[in-house]
Structure 1
Amino acid sequence: MGSRRAPRWTSSCSSRSRGAGREGCAMFVPLTPLDYKRRAVRNFGDKIGVVDGERRFTYREFGERADRLAGALRALDVAAGDRVAFITYNTHHLLEAYYGVLQAGCVLTPINIRLSADEIAYVLEHSGAAVLVYHRDFQDLVDRVRPRAPRLRHLVILEGEDPEAHAYETLLARASPEPGPEISAVDENAICELFYTSGTTGRPKGVALTHRSLALHALYFSVTMRMSDADRVLHVVPLFHVNGWGTPQVLTAVGGTHVMLRKVVAQDILRLVERERITVLLGVPSIYTMLVNEPTIGTFDLTSLRRAVSGGAPASPSLIRAMEEKLGCLCVVGYGLTETAPLLSKALPKAHLGGTADDDLRRRSTTGFEVVGVDMRVVDGEGREVPPDGATVGEIVARSNVVMEGYYRDPEGTAQAIRDGWFHTGDMAVVDAEGYVTIVDRKKDIIISGGENISSVEVEKIIAAHPAVFECTVIAVPDERWGETPKALIVLKPGQRATAEEIVGHCRRHLAGFKLPSSIEFRESLPKTGTGKIMKHELREPYWRGYEKRVH
């Protein structure tokens, strides 16, 4: 089995960055997204680079605010390698943090605002966050988690007041701009972002990404999507989710325009596409389903759009067709994971392929083929590539510079995910003769609902804690709006009674809203294997009968 370094926050220049025998090279420039901000400020300084509601910032203004954020963190005596957490919407403040936090030598840790207080308290404790920056709308949430995060040294509030917190704008106004280190002094292998994603163990896992991974991911993304300074991207994908799909780095790198979206409302998205002349949309299938079914979509001018990408969960050909009809642009599926920063593949059309319009639509609805910079394969249990027949199922594995450094404080999880030099995704797929991969099932019991990962084990543990529950399991069932949702199958203890409403109420006290079971069914027993394991596949099958894939 190949070895993999355990996650670390800083390192000296290593063979991984310079390579053996590189001492005599004329030049070595570390890879870091900080160089992209420098480039944007220098080459597009007077251009509007960020739009957030009625506020507009040129790249020069954006750069100065990021510099002041770095200076403010230094003034708070935050040390290099400290984690700086954010709980906020897609605001210009979080986009500034993608650079300012890194310039201060710290690690940016955006937290999913949809998590429960218990889950957020766990993330703060596990990451050891020293600073928490939060929007005023989450004051009640912060008040609940604050006592459970003893290592928090500073609170910073956005667009509000809290006697126990610093005001963000006041901190910036008082700070001396700190442009950060010279690019040549950056350790490209130092971890600079930490994202928490759900895992099969129930607790979120901290995915550690380095300067090098993020910088290269932006280049791979740019080549694949043919990004330029003419592009204007609406940040529909949350910046706390999977590195914002890479847009904070790639769009800055090319000098494009960031347009922030704080809350997902169909008419707001369409209005901003029209007003800001958005060229690229990225979102999960449930958002596109909402858009194409919005009654007023025909009243908006969407002609600026050149491409829409659906990811985070599988999309059906019918959805891709509806997207193209309603949005009027090329629509494709993308695939990736938090652990890969995230982009691994894109279902782009290949110019040399013929066939009918239906053939083209089918290809663009698949998981796609590997992007530049990624080696992605579908392998069997022995690590051999499956035949490209579109029928033989294997697991997707990937090898690339964009793969995470590891799971923070989880060497066993890291060793399980990265084996023999390959990252094992846990997604089961087939591959056709043209190299298009299609996910057909999941090896892990992760439910992907509206692009959000839900651990069935985590939900099961909460339900099992109810005093009336004897045993339970949680499975994914198809849902037309969210793709799939969790369904709980429960066996009650003899003589005990409970209603579905009671079970959901119990879950609501411990889980984020999107993790709650969408339906509950009480059963006399649950089928088990000879070793006593509940047979989830058998339980799922009736709900997915008639569907080509076991994901939706």
Structure 2
Amino acid sequence: MGIYDDNLDKNAANYQPLTPLNFLSRAARVHPERIAIVHGSLRRSYKDFYARSRQLASALAKRGVARGETVAVMLSNTPAMLEAHHGVPMAGAVLLSINTRLDAEIIAFQLDHSEAKVVIVDREFSGVMAEALQKAEVSPLVVDYDDPDFPADAPAKKGELIGALEYEALVAEGDRDFAWQMPDDEWDAISLNYTSGTTGNPKGVVYHHRGAALMGYANIVAAEMTGRPVYLWTLPMFHCNGWCFPWTLAVQAGTHVCLRWVRAKAMYDAIADHGVTHLCGAPIVMATLINADEGDKREFAQTVTFNTAAAPPPQSVLAGMRDAGFEVTHLYGLTETYGPAVVNAWKEEWDALERPERAARKARQGVRYPALEDLAVMDAETMEAVPSDGETIGEVMFRGNIVMRGYLKNPDASAEAFRGGWFHSGDLGVMHEDGYIELKDRAKDIIISGGENISSIEVENALYQHPAVATAAVVAKPDDKWGETPLAYVELKPGRQASEDELIAHCREKLARFKCPREIRFAEVPKTSTGKIQKYVLRKMIDG
């Protein structure tokens, strides 16, 4: 031991576990009257945001929710969702944000697998949740969220009340001055997010307080959220906990502008009326903005930062966004890395490049996030880094404090994901000489549509359940609006008939609508001599 190891131990005065919950408590103390949340007619200050989060935590504790238990929510981008991101972990519990586009069977699996003790459900989704609860083995306390600012001309309708009480009644049971729990350890779980799954049931990705706190700081840096940011919620908060932005905004005491549905007029109105500075989303959100009717568009003075993930946007989209007043930043990450862990850090000298070279730079996923310790492209067998030549393909791997704890109740999958001391993404890419990575393929054949992952295997399994289908193969088809959509190649059994409409309708009976093929092509599916389907050949056929 050296001199710096003697009588210089950690203690309560010099060491506290990292947690993003302290961001909110600080913002409420420093800027109590600043507007934290805008939702329809609602304006909620940081003082009230913090108090209501404490009330929710208190109410959950009074209802018997204990440390390490799961509270599930199925909510839109509303104030209740923001309060859940703080109030649930303030009670020592773990937040499960359920994808609002899922079907009842998958929801039931998640409720059972997570052993959910409480479910808070928006009335917009009460129908599918009621069906899921009938299928589930657990019997959680069910709480209805009846949004008072639910628009009268909404594209969706409120469902029936299915809970034991309404959300506001639950919050009213709590104490605004509740002494909320710091985590015992920053390694404690703060949230649970399920992957879409490539085979079998989805895997439950566990986040810890340390990672969520570090993402809060890193998002501020990567998104250049200087001053007082105003953030428009176009990214679903159920998706990787909204890339941790529900916690991030309080670092700068910024304003959350809630948005239930992504609609052009609503986005432009919010940007112009509230001075939005930042938003995130998939390519479909960009397409919605630049293709909006002229009557829906609004002028605004500020440049708005738009963070997008998934496939790199086409040059036409980037140009359209720039003309409309948006600056696009390309990100990359996975559920297992708390959302974005790689950023295309743009260099000023690239602005002078010719258009093709500039587009090539934009297509790269980029360099590691400020909170990520290491990013590499490696040979998955030898665990050696591939040459940084922009040509040699390897697997993209991550290492650091914004990598998940592991998969809930799945030690084998966790061990495989962390083999060799790195998180294996399953994505294939190259490393350029300047240290920027670029994806070349997805090893697990995941299709990213509208920012959501779709397993090609899951779609193929649905097609195979049709009596006329002999062979099915699903690949990603580039789409200007959605980024990618599922394209299915199908061989029919001899003597059997089925139309494209019939097979798509069949898939809609088996899958959530967004997972279903947008197009089906009847063709001989190319195979190797051993009968393995050659998807790379199918990808080449897309535009052929």
**TM-score over 0.5 (shorter chain):** yes
Matches within 5 A, 1:180-219: 180-181=179-180, 183=182, 186-219=184-217
Residue 349 of structure 1: how far off its partner (Å) = 1.8
- Count of aligned residue pairs for this structure pair: 523
- 2:268/2:297 contact within 8 Å kept: no
Contact kept? 2:54, 2:180, Cα under 8 Å: no
1:139-538 equivalences in 2 (<5 Å): 139-159=126-146, 162=161, 164-177=163-176, 179-181=178-180, 183=182, 186-296=184-294, 299-326=297-324, 328-351=325-348, 355-356=352-353, 358=355, 359-360=357-358, 362-374=360-372, 375-381=374-380, 382-523=382-523, 525-538=524-537
Show the counterpart of 1:78.
Answer: 65
Letter paired with 2:528: T
> Which stretch of the first structure deviates more once superposed, 121-130 or 490-499?
490-499
- Once the two structures are TM-superposed, the CA of residue 215 in structure 1 deviates from its matched residue by 0.8
Q: CA deviation at 1:110?
A: 0.6
Is this contact kept in 2: 1:320–1:365, CA < 8 A? no
CA apart distance, 1:235: 0.9
**Contact in 1 for aligned 2:331/2:343 (Cα 8 Å):** yes
Offset at 1:191?
0.9
2:514 and 2:429 mapped to 1: Cα distance? 26
Give the C-alpha shift of residue 119 in structure 1. Answer: 1.8
Question: Structure 1 residues 337 and 21 mapped into 2: Cα distance closer, same or farther (>3 Å)?
Answer: farther
Q: Secondary structure at the match of 1:420?
A: helix
Give 1:9's aligned residue.
none
Provide closer, same or farther for how the CA distance between residues 89 and 406 of structure 1 changes in structure 2, counting only shifts above 3 A: same
Give the letter aligned to residue 347 of structure 1. N
In the TM superposition, what is the alpha-carbon distance from 1:231 to its structure 2 partner?
0.6
Q: Distance in 2 between matches of 1:395 and 1:241?
A: 24
- How many Å separate the matches in 2 of 1:44 and 1:449? 39
Larger mean CA deviation between 462-471 and 124-133 belongs to 462-471
Equivalent position SS for 2:466? coil
Q: Is the 8 A contact 2:90 2:181 kept in 1?
A: no
User: C-alpha distance in 2, partners of 1:508/1:535?
Assistant: 26
Q: Which residue of 88, 105, 115 maps to 1:128?
A: 115
- Structure with higher RCO (Cα < 8 A, 6+ apart): 1
- Structure 1 residues 209 and 544, CA gap change in structure 2 (3 angstroms): farther
User: In the aligned structure 2, how far is the partner of 1:224 from the partner of 1:370?
Assistant: 10
Instruction: Give distance in 1, aligned partners of 2:460 and 2:8.
Output: 54
Moved segments of 4+, more than 6 Å? 20-23
* Aligned-partner residue type, residue 24 of structure 1: D
Q: Partner of 1:130: helix, strand, or coil?
A: strand
Alignment partner of 1:62 is 2:49: yes
How far apart in 1 are the matches of 2:113 and 2:543? 37
Over 3 Å counting, the alpha-carbon distance change for 1:142 and 1:182 in structure 2 is: closer
Find the counterpart in structure 2 of residue 4 from structure 1: none
Offset of residue 412 of structure 1: 1.9
Question: Relative to structure 1, is the Cα distance of residues 25 and 120 closer, same or farther in structure 2, using a 3 angstrom cutoff?
Answer: closer
Q: 1:366 Cα deviation (Å)? A: 2.1
Q: How far did residue 182 of structure 1 move?
A: 5.2
Report if aligned partners of 2:336, 2:404 keep a CA contact under 8 Å in 1: yes
Amino acid at match of 1:32: T
How far residue 270 of structure 1 moved from its aligned partner, in angstroms, is 0.9
Runs of 5+ in structure 1 lacking a partner? Answer: 1-19, 546-552
Q: Deviations over 1:47-92 (max 9, x none)?
A: 0011111101000100111011111111221222121111121001
Rate the CA distance shift 1:427–1:158 in 2: closer, same or farther, 3 A. same
Whichever residue aligns with residue 429 of structure 2, its letter is: A
Per the alignment, in what secondary structure is the counterpart of residue 244 of structure 2?
helix
User: 2:428 aligns to what SS in structure 1?
Assistant: strand
Gap change, CA 1:151 and 1:535, over 3 Å in 2: same
Identity over aligned residues, as a percent?
Answer: 38
